[in-house]
Amino acid sequence: MDEFDLIARHFDWPAHRPEVALAVGDDAALIDPPAGSRLTVATDMLVAGRHFPFDTPPEAVAHKALAVNLSDLAAMGAEPLAFTLSLGLPRDTETDWLARFSGGMRRLAERSGCDLIGGDTVGADTLTLSVTVIGRLPAGQALTRAGARAGDRLAVSGHIGDASLGLAVVMQPDTVPAGIEPAGREALRRRLDLPEPRLSLGRSLLGEASAGLDCSDGLLQDIGHLLDASGLAATIDLSAVPLSSTARAWLAARPGDLERLVTGGDDYELIVALPPGIDVSRFPELTVIGELVDGPVGEIRERHGRALPTRRGYQHFENAEA
Ligand code: ADP
Ligand code: MG
């Protein structure tokens, strides 16, 4: 099958959005942004064996590649419009794998209202995917990392750390506590493979939260990014970090793994700063874990004096020369 057949067969499903005037098939796509809106663009790249385990099912690889990008739009408070998909495919990729991959991607795309409008397809030694998403915001608005104030509460959505435990289930199965049943392992693995972008929460926080970002590289590291951009320090309460029942059971057996939960990454939850006037109970997905304070920019202190890990999260070039 040549490149054109491959695209026609797997990546040329119909676009639905009125804003998308021309999608896959021409030299470039066309989007007509609605009057009174601004566009926001994000891109994220995934490499097999680095961003997902080699044995990840194709539906999940596709889901994750799009979901991590939609999570960036959620973090800006944006509504998704469209995305491009660039694929570096190993030469021996089978049609069945591609069919499952495109099915997984199409399901998330359609339920998120995000049209596939183009991309590129090349041969590669390692499966590599790059997605670029385009979203819309009301003109002049956005939820950025800057803008938080001292006195704002720091809150996170959902549960933190399940994906890092899911990675341990895959990569270091002998570190899984005996009390974690197969269903619990499966749930953790799903949190690693199938992150759910917090799109409706992000949109509801636009104009309410003072700053925000998504949690992708480790809770502490990503809090640090918000602090750097907003010029603040934070006090956090480690015991307030919201954990799933499976993660709590895991920690009861291996308390030292708390560090892994708050630095492990791949959560794709939102981290936001809430000004004092905002009633948190309006956002049931959110849990307050601390507050923003004046102090050395980027510093994170634990409310009860508990030690925080010095390595705050995942770093892509940790072992590189430059
Ligand atoms: P060009 O040579 O002009 O770059 P291509 O032959 O690479 O065009 O692609 C043909 C069309 O297919 C373009 O509209 C492009 O956006 C689209 N396309 C290529 N690869 C993908 C993909 N993986 N997913 C969706 N659309 C794709
Ligand atoms: Mg091309």
Say if residues 216 and 192 touch (Cβ distance below 8 Å): no
- Summarised one tens digit per residue, pLDDT across range 42-66 is 999 999 999 998 989 999 999 999 9
Parallel, antiparallel, or unpaired: how do β-strands 233-236 and 115-123 relate? Answer: unpaired
pLDDT > 70 fraction of the chain, expressed in percent and rounded: 98
Parallel, antiparallel, or unpaired: how do β-strands 300-302 and 233-236 relate? Answer: parallel
* Any atom of ligand 1 within 6 Å of the Cβ of 23: no
* Any atom of ligand 1 within 6 Å of the Cβ of 65: no
Q: Which residue has the higher pLDDT, 318 or 277?
A: 277
* Any atom of ligand 1 within 6 Å of the Cβ of 118: yes
Mean pLDDT of the chain: 95
Please identify, by atom number, the ligand 1 atom nearest to the C-alpha of residue 116: 25
Burial class (CB in 10 A: 0-12, 13-18, 19+), 302: middle
Q: For the whole model, what pTM was predicted? A: 0.95
pLDDT confidence of residue 316: 66
pLDDT confidence of residue 317: 64
Residue 218 has pLDDT above 60, yes or no: yes
Listed range (73-82, 152-161, 264-273, 303-312) with the worst mean pLDDT: 303-312
Residue 224 has pLDDT above 60, yes or no: yes
Average pLDDT over residues 131-138: 98
Q: Which two tokens stand for residue 168?
A: 């341990």
CA of 121 to the centre of ligand 1 (A): 7
pLDDT confidence of residue 92: 93
The C-alpha R_g of the chain, in whole angstroms, comes to: 20
* Distance of alpha carbon 15 from alpha carbon 116, whole angstroms: 7
Residue in the structure block whose two tokens are 């892509």: 316
Residue 320 has pLDDT above 80, yes or no: no
Please identify, by atom number, the ligand 1 atom nearest to the C-alpha of residue 27: 3
DSSP string, 160-212: SSHHHHHHHHHH-GGGS-TTS-HHHHHHHHHHHHS----HHHHHHHTTTSSEE
